[in-house]
Structure 1
Amino acid sequence: MKVRRTERLLNYFVLIIFSLIVLAPIFTIVVGAFAPADAKAAQQGSFHPENFLTAWHEGRFGQYMTTSVLVAIVVVTLTVVLSLFSGYAFGTMTFRGREVLFYTFLLGIMIPAEAVVIPLFFDLRSLGLTDTIWAVALPQVAQSVAFGTYWMRTYFKGVSPSILDAARMDGATPQRILWSILVPMGRPAITTMVVLVFMWTWNEFLIPLVMSPTGAFRTAPLGLAFFQGQYTQGTALLAAGAVLVALPVVMLYFILQRHFIKGMLEGSIKE
């Protein structure tokens, strides 16, 4: 169907307006990150990139971001592997109790972390896992696997059965079908899951706060909150810290954006 020029221009106008509304707060934070941090800095000019270095050292973001990277690697790796196996089973295999078990998995999406974090803390403390990377990572793995199972099941159910039948006729085992056929074909869907899980893990606040009471495994967003309260009230350094915390997610998205968008579009047209 041919779209009239006036309608196309109106669509662009609406998209531009909404883009400006979304980007305006981000632009304000980025500009604020280069603003003078105090009266002395204001006398030296209006552009201060050294705010990032000051925030990095005073806020101990090197330590916090290292912890966030380690937690994200553990969570994303375990989530992708476990979700591939569970999604493959639910999407391509038939076994007793499949639907009941699948909807049990979905409870991980429906139940908020706030409802289980306190009893989970006592359980992990009894196992001696609090104040370790596992106490911060494993609860997030459980949450993310629930989504990853749903996401990969949707992808595997959308694969043409003729492809699977042809592979079986050629003597391929279920493991070979998964790793040699379905995983390469599902790269956009897997990439989308990686980006989403990384973003959720990186931005998680409650679980690191509760599971590491001594602050030994404090993540970057949690460190930013403590930076605001303990180190400075200056908006310039806070804005610089916020940019530092958000930068890894933005960089990952720009690197993988082509696969991410393709995976989202493919997911939107499947059951």
Structure 2
Amino acid sequence: MIVGRGETWSGRVLLVLLMAATLMPFASLFVTGLHPRGSYPSGLDWPADPHWGNFVTAFQVARMGELVKSSTLIVLGVVPVSLLLATLAGFAIGHLRVAGRNVVFLTFVLGLTLPFEGIITPLYYQVRDMGLLNTRWAIILPLIGLFMPFAVFWMRAHFVNMPDELSESARMDGANLWQLFWRIHVPLAMPALSSLAILLFLWTWNQFLLAIVLVDDPLKRTMSGALGAFQGQWGTDMPLLCAGSLLILTPTLAIFLIFQRRFVTALLQGSLKG
């Protein structure tokens, strides 16, 4: 299919406009964060005397170091366990001839329609009865369960496209089921696993609702959840609030920019298979 020059340029212009619209909010946060504290700047008005110290002040008053530690602990509790469970379930449902696998898969698909907001009230009482309120476990355990439908669906989409001949050849060479899973299929599933890990990391790091409802101590929340407490304390100081917001967004942006090539490759691989 031959694409004309006009169509090529129109596509490039559209991409530039979309990129500008995407970057505009971050540019506004950055510029506002450089204004003097207590001021109310408008738009992208660059200050005559940029106050770079606002970012240092925001880092200190928000106790970003402790927030990074808390978010890291929550991510380490959610992502590895979710990947392991989803890989095991996806392999069983998508590749093995397990009885009732279609019913189990349908149950996970129905779980995709379950919004966080719809279960937050019963989840609060359940976590309270378990004695986990105001602990990081109040975020970790629910997130593992809530991520399972999508994670299993994602991994099942990979394993269902694996040829049966691959497993039959491994069995003929003497491989048992466990060896077949760990030595054959898991290495081949690394693109799907890596892209899923990036998604789970971003969703966990940016988790806001569960953090503010189930955990009272901001230092035990995710960084996004702690933003609510930071906003309540410094909501009238727009430059400091914007500087703190940008610092909270920086880790997720950095992770995505670093691993974007791997993430896009996995998505394209899945679309070609599907």
Structure 2-normalised TM-score?
0.90
Separation of aligned partners in 2, 1:26 and 1:192? 25
Among 103, 106, 112, the alignment partner of 2:109 is: 106
Name the CA distance, whole Å, in 2 between partners of 1:45 and 1:11.
37
Most deviating of 64-73 and 146-155: 64-73
| C-alpha contact (below 8 Å) 1:51/1:236 kept by paired residues | yes
- Tell me, yes or no, if the aligned pair for 1:58 and 1:231 is still in contact at 8 Å: no
Do the aligned partners of 2:66 and 2:219 also contact (CA within 8 Å) in 1?
A: no
The alpha carbon displacement at 1:216 in A equals 5.7
SS in 1 for 2:112: helix
- 3-state SS in 1 of match to 2:123: helix
* 1:173–1:133 CA distance, 2 compared to 1 (3 A): same
1:7 corresponds in structure 2 to: 7
What residue in structure 1 maps to residue 148 of structure 2?
145
Does 1:165 find its partner at 2:168?
yes
Q: Percent identity?
A: 34
**What amino acid maps onto 2:6 in structure 1?**
T
Asked if 2 retains the 8 angstrom alpha-carbon contact of 1:67 and 1:217, the reply is yes
Question: Would the alpha carbon gap of residues 104 and 65 (structure 1) be closer, same or farther in structure 2, given more than 3 Å must change?
Answer: same
- Unaligned stretches of 5+ in structure 1? none
| Aligned counterpart for 1:213 among listed residues 201, 212, 216 | 216
Q: Distance in 2 between matches of 1:203 and 1:162?
A: 41
Pairwise CA distance, 1:139: 0.6
Contact (CA 8 Å) 2:70, 2:219: kept in 1 or not? no
- Give the whole-Å Cα distance in 2 for the aligned partners of 1:59 and 1:110: 35
Question: Aligned in 2, Cα 1:7/1:215: closer, same or farther, shift over 3 Å?
Answer: closer
- Aligned to 1:14, the other structure's residue is in SS state helix
Which sections of structure 2, spanning at least 5 residues, go unmatched?
40-46
Structure-2 residue corresponding to 1:228 = 231
Amino acid at match of 1:234: D
What is residue 72 of structure 2 aligned with on the other side? 69
Q: Would the alpha carbon gap of residues 232 and 21 (structure 1) be closer, same or farther in structure 2, given more than 3 Å must change?
A: closer
Do the aligned residues in 2 keep the contact of 1:75 with 1:137 (CA within 8 Å)?
yes
Cα distance change of structure 1 residues 231 and 38 upon mapping to structure 2, 3 Å threshold = closer
Q: Partner of 1:110: helix, strand, or coil? A: coil
Q: Distance between the aligned counterparts of 2:157 and 2:25, measured in 1?
A: 35
Paired amino acid for 1:61:
M
Q: Which of 204-213 and 150-159 deviates more?
A: 204-213
Matching of residue 199 in structure 1 with residue 192 in structure 2: no
Separation in structure 2 between the aligned mates of residue 164 and residue 126 of structure 1, nearest angstrom: 45
TM-score (norm 1): 0.91
